Amino acid sequence: MLIPLLIVAILLITIIIIFVLIATHMKTGRGDRKVSKGVVASFKEANKRLAINPKDPQALLAIASYYYHQEAWENAYKAYGTLTEVGGSNEEFTVYLNHGICALKLGFTDIAYKSLIVARSLKQSDFEVNFNLGFLEFQKNNYEKAVTFLQSARITNPENTANLRYLGYACFKMNKHKEAMTFIREAIDLEPNNKESLYVLGECYFEAGQIEQALKIFMHLRLDPTMGASASLFAGNIHTDQRQHNKAIEDFEIGLKHDDIKIDILMELRYKLAACYITLNDIPKVLPLLRQIHNDNPTYKDVATLITKYQEINSNKNLQIFLMGSSADFVALCRKVVMAYHIKAKVKISDIAITRNDWIDITAEVNTPKWADIVMFRFIRTQGVVGELILRDFQSHLKELKAGKGICITFGTFSDEAKRFTEARLIDLIEKTRFASILKNIESYTQSRDTKK
């Protein structure tokens, strides 16, 4: 019998405790903010006085103070606002300071600034006034003014981490990187777990040319839930600049694993990751990323153009080699085209000249049943427009070699000037559409030639 009674007693005690907690919560209006009976009584008394005189300064001050300490910013803002209009309070500095802070909390920055300036005229050395004015100037990109106010705040409270952070940020924005690093390091010493300060320190290192120190910080922050996506983007950009594309891919992929990424960071992570895959010629991984970007923002950078370009490249392996393959693969493909270009001819390649991986010239001796001559091929690696200057250069080489014919091939197009230049010359121009057909059928051309041999 004792055990059931004990269970009932424990349940009753638990229920009583719960009811007491609920009652306490209801009385305070906020679970985490208790209000003393004296404050509540003062609040009620102030309301009675305001019912008689809506502009009673002391009643308004009591009401404003009550709401301010309850963080009921809108009610406090209205009460302090009325006090600034009617005057008469013996705590004028507190009225303007708190009115400014309430306005700042509500996003009324212009009103906040005006009230805080008045408060500063009454007490120039106050930390809260100077810090908040410095913060507002920083938000308006007035960094020199921000530093002036924040330095004043620092005199009063030298170890306030938020003030040190914004001092560092403002100096950073003014390109005073050494000063910025000093203040931010102080803030980090006082608050080691503040990742935002650490991120800005990394930016300072980067701008000061201390790339490895910056990279260490950004790589350390890659997994941080708040700063991780931005840090991953920064680390990836550094690795990209260093041509360490596989490491950059790792950075960008880590960044994309975070939740609730800001849209501009998300888009840039995808775009930079796609760019790395393009550099490594991994086209199948490029298109899904570009399509994700396009779905979220169809006008983002050159994504629409890139999708069109790489869809085409992805559909034709030989085109991938022609535009993006290694020099060896590019040369091998161009040799195939030369050998297959004149189907019923004997072809002997006599020279291959590569120019900065932009184009190659292949000279061949061609013998057909009707004619025999030296033919020079120029393959230009582009999807853009080829101008007249390249063809003038090609023409001069033809003359040097005493070649009877020149064939200029690109996956782009030729300008009108280039076409006019070749009208009276023995140069054939092969553009995108015709060359795409050649590339698609090059293997069958080659097999046919080999079979006939």
CATH tag for 321-452 (out of 3.40.1350.10, 3.40.50.720, 1.10.1520.10, 3.40.50.300)? 3.40.1350.10
The boundaries of every CATH 1.25.40.10 domain in the chain are: 38-290
Lowest mean pLDDT among 7-21, 216-230, 301-315: 7-21
Lowest mean pLDDT among 136-140, 426-430, 442-446: 442-446
Over range 110-127, report the average pLDDT: 95
Percent of the chain with pLDDT over 90: 62
Asked whether the beta carbons of 62 and 73 are under 8 A apart, the reply is no
pTM (2 d.p.): 0.68
Over range 296-324, report the average pLDDT: 88
The boundaries of every CATH 3.40.1350.10 domain in the chain are: 321-452
What percent helix, strand, coil does the chain show, rounded to 5?
A: 70, 10, 20
| pLDDT tens for each residue of 197-206 | 999 899 999 9
Residues 6 or more apart whose Cβ sits within 8 Å of residue 445? 336, 340, 343, 438
Residue 441's pLDDT band, with cuts at 50, 70 and 90, is confident
Half-sphere exposure of 436 (CA within 13 A, CB side): 12
User: Among 325, 317, 406, 400, which residue's Cα sits nearest to residue 361?
Assistant: 406
Distance in angstroms (rounded) separating the CA atoms of residues 45 and 67:
15
Mean model confidence pLDDT for the chain: 86
Class of domain 38-290: mainly alpha
| pLDDT tens for each residue of 336-377 | 999 989 888 899 999 999 877 689 999 999 999 889 999 999
At CA 349, angle to CA 348 and CA 352, rounded to 5?
175
Predicted pLDDT at 320: 84
Distance in angstroms (rounded) separating the CA atoms of residues 218 and 33:
39
Predicted pLDDT at 144: 96
Distance in angstroms (rounded) separating the CA atoms of residues 385 and 392:
15
User: Among 373, 370, 351, 371, which residue's Cα sits nearest to residue 361?
Assistant: 351
Distance in angstroms (rounded) separating the CA atoms of residues 335 and 329:
10
